[in-house]
Amino acid sequence: MLTMPLQTNSSLNDTVIKLEHVGKTFGEMVVFEDICLHVNRGEIVSILGSSGSGKSTLFNIIAGLIPIDHGKVAVRGTVGYMQQKDLLLPWKTVASNVGLPLKLKGFAKEDIEKKIKEYLPLVGLEGNEDKYPFQLSGGMRQRASFLRTLMTAEEIFLLDEAFGSLDSITRGQMQKWLLDMKNKFDNTVVLITHDIDEAIYLSDRIYIISKIPAEIKKEIKVDFHNEDKNKRLLSPRTLELKQEILKYF
Ligand SMILES: Nc1ncnc2c1ncn2[C@@H]1O[C@H](COP(=O)(O)OP(=O)(O)OP(=O)(O)O)[C@@H](O)[C@H]1O
Ligand SMILES: [Mg+2]
């Protein structure tokens, strides 16, 4: 868990993440020069962009893992970060990996075990609690990692390609589960995805970013069937938005 310092900037109000004119280079490579974006409390926002456009770098900046060259970053609230690489600890079982954030928070062993029993079936990992990461498929590792991130019930979740290596059926189930969790706990979620359908289905807003040096090409408000996003899946509006988004790639 990463706990960010609470910013006293009153202009943040309901904005929980704000990047102003952020620049980042790696040596000679300019990843971005002037990124501005914000995320409001309770929103699901997707960052959509092609490979190598600096999306994970953006998350590492928001999570406070890497410094910026210039600009301002303000984050308000506790952050749970699911990195693109699953980062499960190879020497720990599925149950220990998933329960780790709760252990670090000082939960009692019995409570952790109870929670793990309750949650593993939700991601289809029941019966695998005693396996080690090397014994799991890529998709299973991803689901374990997703569950571990959500176990922390933080205020803000950064999910980097959380559903990337899942088959479409499991992917659909996980997306639904994410929406259920969001409705239940009213967290704020920022997703990185390559998948336009996923972005339209889940998001309240989408930022499309260009190749490096990356800039925000377009901000799209997704404002149909907000009350029941499942209805978006079959709506003709999804197709219209998809066509609009594809213009930027
Ligand atoms: N720590 C680092 N040191 C040097 N270069 C880096 C570092 N991290 C990322 N880069 C480079 O910065 C660029 C953006 O990388 P990043 O991982 O942010 O892209 P991405 O949009 O997440 O790509 P993908 O969709 O493939 O995950 C790439 O060219 C990458 O090689
Ligand atoms: Mg990435």
- Identity (one letter) of the amino acid at 146? F
Instruction: Grade residue 123 by pLDDT with cuts at 50, 70 and 90.
Output: confident
Distances (CA, A) of 177 to 5, 25, 72, 130, 240: 29, 36, 33, 24, 26
Atom 7 in ligand 1: residue holding the nearest Cα:
26
**Hunting for tokens 């780790």 — which residue is that?**
100
Q: Does residue 7 have a pLDDT over 60? A: no
Instruction: Grade residue 167 by pLDDT with cuts at 50, 70 and 90.
Output: confident
Q: Does residue 4 have a pLDDT over 50? A: no
CB distance 187 to 157 below 8 Å = yes
CA 102 to chain centre: 19
Prediction pTM value: 0.90
165 Cα: distance to centroid of ligand 1 (angstroms): 19
Atom 9 in ligand 1: residue holding the nearest Cα:
57
Per the structure, the count of domains in the chain is 1
Cα(219)–Cα(231) distance, rounded to whole angstroms?
A: 22
Q: Does residue 14 have a pLDDT over 80? A: yes
Region 147-169: mean pLDDT is 88
54 Cα: distance to centroid of ligand 1 (angstroms): 5
Q: From the CB of 31, is ligand 1 less than 6 Å away?
A: yes
Ligand showing the shortest atom-to-Cα distance for residue 194 = 1
pLDDT digits (tens, 9 = 90+) for 54-83: 999 999 999 999 999 999 999 999 999 999
Region 12-28: mean pLDDT is 91
Ligand showing the shortest atom-to-Cα distance for residue 213 = 1
Instruction: Grade residue 97 by pLDDT with cuts at 50, 70 and 90.
Output: very high
Of 38-52, 67-81, 160-174, least confident by mean pLDDT is 160-174
CATH of the domain at 231: 3.40.50.300
pLDDT digits (tens, 9 = 90+) for 201-240: 999 999 999 999 999 999 999 999 999 999 999 999 999 9
Atom 23 in ligand 1: residue holding the nearest Cα:
52
Q: From the CB of 56, is ligand 1 less than 6 Å away?
A: yes
Q: What are the tokens at 65?
A: 């893992």
Atom of ligand 1 nearest to the CA of 54: 18
Q: What is the domain range of residue 31?
A: 2-246
The DSSP string of the chain is: -EEPPPP--GGGTTEEEEEEEEEEEETTEEEEEEEEEEEETT-EEEEEE-TTSSHHHHHHHHTTSS--SEEEEEE-SEEEEE-SS----TTS-HHHHHHHHHHHTT--HHHHHHHHHHHGGGGT-TT-TT--GGGS-HHHHHHHHHHHHHHT--SEEEEESTTTTS-HHHHHHHHHHHHHHHHHH--EEEEEES-HHHHHHH-SEEEEE-SSSB-EEEEEE--SS-S-GGGGGG-HHHHHHHHHHHTT-
Would you mind telling me the total number of residues written for the chain in this entry?
249
Label residue 13 exposed, middle or buried (CB < 10 Å: 0-12, 13-18, 19+).
exposed
Q: Does residue 110 have a pLDDT over 90? A: yes
Across the chain, mean pLDDT equals 90
Region 83-97: mean pLDDT is 92
Q: What is the dihedral of CA 193, 101, 98, 80, to 10 degrees?
A: -10
145 Cα: distance to centroid of ligand 1 (angstroms): 21
Ligand showing the shortest atom-to-Cα distance for residue 31 = 1
Instruction: Grade residue 13 by pLDDT with cuts at 50, 70 and 90.
Output: low
172 Cα: distance to centroid of ligand 2 (angstroms): 21
50 Cα: distance to centroid of ligand 1 (angstroms): 11
Residue 10's pLDDT is what?
39
Cα(211)–Cα(49) distance, rounded to whole angstroms?
A: 7
Percent share of the chain, pLDDT over 70: 95
Atom of ligand 1 nearest to the CA of 58: 18
Residue 3's pLDDT is what?
37
Ligand showing the shortest atom-to-Cα distance for residue 26 = 1
Q: Ligand 1 pocket check: which of 22, 24, 31, 160 to mutate, most ligand atoms within 8 Å of Cβ?
A: 31
CB distance 147 to 78 below 8 Å = no
